[in-house]
């Protein structure tokens, strides 16, 4: 399969120089567009998409390379720009880099030099894009897409680390399992979009009542877990009570802002080292407490005993 040609826009006020660079790039198998000045270059950029790179002369009447670079960055465009300059104006080239150019080439240059610089700049851009994507996917895999909270996977990872740390240094660690009461009713009555909106509001309320050092995770469909490092059970149950109250009193609204039914949560708590010794035990005992709350009227905080 033939890959798509890279498009380079060459800008130079000197027609001979413009032609030389254009020819050399065409030979190197690039698609080439030319502009005799900055204004024309900006016009081309506004009319055409798919320009991968700009090679521009630095010294030009009317609009020089720096002004052009600033204009292009001002448009919000990230197209890499390489400026061409003579030795006398190398400081200006540096200034152009500060304005957002990717690299510069000094005159006189040979053909290889310009090709290598172009390849290097394009490769850098490709790597930067990849790094950005990797960060994006990492974010996705650690976070629940809807609420932005930690997801099940990263919650387990954090809990593993925290239980290990708590046992090693004999420090207190508490967790709470939070389950929304009668959530199915909310979805059935107001629709899933309203249910999602309510879910996000609950996530926000939990987050608001906890410290940044606590980990708030969406644990399952309508279940959240809060991991509270360095927190004994009585402190954790006070936080849980604040969360329960905040949710009970919150005027929930749909995605369109229309009021919907009030909601409540049931919270089960457990802690290391007094109620559990391992991560598995910690989850199991918090779950038992949650179940007890669910079967004894809901909308309450229950500590595992």
Give the footprint of Mg ion on this chain (CB under 5 A): 13, 57, 59-60
Place of tokens 């001002």: 74
Residue with Cβ nearer Mg ion (12 or 214): 12
CA 31 to chain centre: 34
Query: Shortest gap between Cβ of 19 and Mg ion (angstroms)?
Result: 14
- Answer yes or no: 241 catalytic: no
> Do residues 180 and 283 touch, judged by C-beta distance below 8 A?
no
Query: Shortest gap between Cβ of 70 and Mg ion (angstroms)?
Result: 18
Distance (Å, whole) CA 202 – CA 38? 53
Candidate list 19, 157, 222, 223, residue with the active-site label: 222
Query: Shortest gap between Cβ of 79 and Mg ion (angstroms)?
Result: 20
Residue with Cβ nearer Mg ion (92 or 236): 92
Closest CA to 80 of 24, 120, 131: 120
Beta strand residue intervals within 166-293, DSSP E: 173-180, 215-220, 223-229, 265-272
Distance (Å, whole) CA 164 – CA 101? 49
Residue with Cβ nearer Mg ion (19 or 248): 19
Residue with Cβ nearer Mg ion (21 or 102): 21
Query: Shortest gap between Cβ of 41 and Mg ion (angstroms)?
Result: 13
Q: Nearest 5 degrees, angle CA 91-CA 97-CA 99?
A: 110
- Active site residue ranges: 222
């Amino acid at each position: 399969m033939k890959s798509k040609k890279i498009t380079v826009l060459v800008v130079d006020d000197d027609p001979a120089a413009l032609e030389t660079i254009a020819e050399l790039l065409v030979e190197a198998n690039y698609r080439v567009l030319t502009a005799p000045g900055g204004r024309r270059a900006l016009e081309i950029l506004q009319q055409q998409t798919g320009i991968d790179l700009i090679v521009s002369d630095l010294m030009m009447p009317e609009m020089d390379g720096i002004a052009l670079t600033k204009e292009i960055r001002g448009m919000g465009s990230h197209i890499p720009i390489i400026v061409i300059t003579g030795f006398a104006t190398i400081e200006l080239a540096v200034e152009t880099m500060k304005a957002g150019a990717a690299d510069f080439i000094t005159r006189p240059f040979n053909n290889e030099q310009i090709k290598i610089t172009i390849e290097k700049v394009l490769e850098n851009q490709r790597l930067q894009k990849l790094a950005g994507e990797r960060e994006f996917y990492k974010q996705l895999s650690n976070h629940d897409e809807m609420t932005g909270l930690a997801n099940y996977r990263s919650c387990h990872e954090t809990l593993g680390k925290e239980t290990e740390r708590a046992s090693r240094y004999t420090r207190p660690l508490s967790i709470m399992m939070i389950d929304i009461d009668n959530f199915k009713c909310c979805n059935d009555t107001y629709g899933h979009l309203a249910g999602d909106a309510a879910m996000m509001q609950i996530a926000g309320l939990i987050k608001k009542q906890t410290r940044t050092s606590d980990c708030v995770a969406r644990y399952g469909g309508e279940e959240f877990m809060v991991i509270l490092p360095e927190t004994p059970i009585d402190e954790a149950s006070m936080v849980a009570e604040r969360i329960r109250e905040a949710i009970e009193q919150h005027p929930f609204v749909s995605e369109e802002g229309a009021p919907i039914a009030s909601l409540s949560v049931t919270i089960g708590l457990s802690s290391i080292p007094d109620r559990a010794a391992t991560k598995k035990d910690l989850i199991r005992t918090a779950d038992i407490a949650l179940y007890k709350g669910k079967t004894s009227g809901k909308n309450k905080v229950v500590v595992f005993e």
